[in-house]
Amino acid sequence: MENQKEKKVWFITGSSRGFGRIWTEAALERGDKVVATARKLSSIADLQKKYGESVLTLELDVTKPDQVKTTIIQAHAHFGKLDVILNNAGYSLVGTVEEARLDDVRALYDTNLFGTLSVVQAVLPFLRKQGNGHIIGVSSSLGHESMPVIGYYCSTKWAYEAIHESLAAEIKAFGIKVSLIEPGAYATEFGSPESLKMSEGLDIYNDFKEQFVNGLRNMERGNPNATPEAIFKVVDAEQPPLRLLLGDQALPSVRRAYNERLATWEEWKEVSNAVQGN
């Protein structure tokens, strides 16, 4: 383990609510310094009053690449280094594959995927010069399985997983670490209007969606305030994991999804093998 008394400097997107807010305050409470960002500066203004010089609050819309670059430059200049880059900004699009407008799907990807890529690409030159750093992406257990009605959200996390896995291999030689945090179901504000966009509905899906939403309401949800210690263990580890599931429901769900896939591939392996062409 690294020296945990060493103060780290965090750069966190989506600091205004949910996990982003909880982890921002937890890092500050343990004595680290944080560049907290959000689309509306007013939503994180109280952090400056509470934590003073330990926090720098900046307005950031991750869908604006030029603003991302400017914000990263300002953040690095302010504290002189950036140790942990935690990409947390994101939201969900609720609607079936048929219902969702393509413009809404593009907007979802602009935030959930391309916004993160903008941050990663902007910060890498600084981390390479430092010779260290830790990029952490907030994915989801739904980066390994998909659900109806929120399939487009799940797809952003599938892409997120693949890109970060490639990134980890590409930048390892520079001393930069990569980790994916994959929460299961938690009682955050992720279901609030600020974190959801609803597609215009088609009547033919009403019953199906009602059953799905009722199922979500009855899901067991974890306490998000219990999660900071897991995040600290990841950022303080000399050899952090590429992936960390959060909550005791995530692993059983992911294991079930992969077991089903493996069973299908095994069932069809003769068909697969027969077309190798050798």
CA dist 90 and 39 (Å) reads: 11
Cβ count within 10 A of residue 39? 18
**pTM summary value:** 0.93
3-state secondary structure at position 212: helix
- Domain containing 110 equals 9-273
Amino acid, res. 203: D
**Confidence band, pLDDT 50/70/90 cuts, at residue 186:** confident
- Please give the distance of CA 127 from its chain centroid, rounded to a whole number: 20
Residue 178 has pLDDT above 70, yes or no: yes
Q: What does DSSP say about strands 33-38 and 9-12: parallel, antiparallel, or unpaired?
A: parallel
Cβ count within 10 A of residue 30? 13
CA dist 47 and 114 (Å) reads: 27
**Phi then psi for 31, rounded to 5 degrees?**
100, 5
CATH number, position 251: 3.40.50.720
CA dist 26 and 236 (Å) reads: 14
Say if 82 falls within a structural domain. Answer: yes
Say if 165 falls within a structural domain. Answer: yes
Say if 114 falls within a structural domain. Answer: yes
Say if 3 falls within a structural domain. Answer: no
CA dist 259 and 250 (Å) reads: 14
CA dist 1 and 238 (Å) reads: 5
Say if 28 falls within a structural domain. Answer: yes
Beta strand segments in 103-236, E: 133-138, 176-183, 196-198
Burial of 112 (0-12, 13-18, 19+ CB in 10 A): buried
Give 54-67 pLDDT, tens digit per residue: 999 999 999 999 99
Quote the number of domains for the chain. Answer: 1
**Phi then psi for 67, rounded to 5 degrees?**
-65, -35
Say if 4 falls within a structural domain. Answer: no
Count how many Cα atoms sit within 13 Å of the Cα of residue 56 in the half-sphere of its side chain: 19
Say if 188 falls within a structural domain. Answer: yes
Residue 3 has pLDDT above 50, yes or no: no
> And the tokens for 53?
């010089």
> And the tokens for 86?
């935690």
Between residues 220 and 35, the one the model is more confident about: 35
| 20 bridge partner residues | none
CA dist 82 and 62 (Å) reads: 18
Which residues are catalytically annotated?
139, 153, 157
Q: Of 9, 118, 18, 106, whose CA–CA distance to 60 is shortest?
A: 118
Give 80-135 pLDDT, tens digit per residue: 999 999 999 999 999 999 999 999 999 999 999 999 999 999 999 999 999 999 99
Whole-number pLDDT of residue 2? 44
Whole-number pLDDT of residue 194? 55
Say if 1 falls within a structural domain. Answer: no
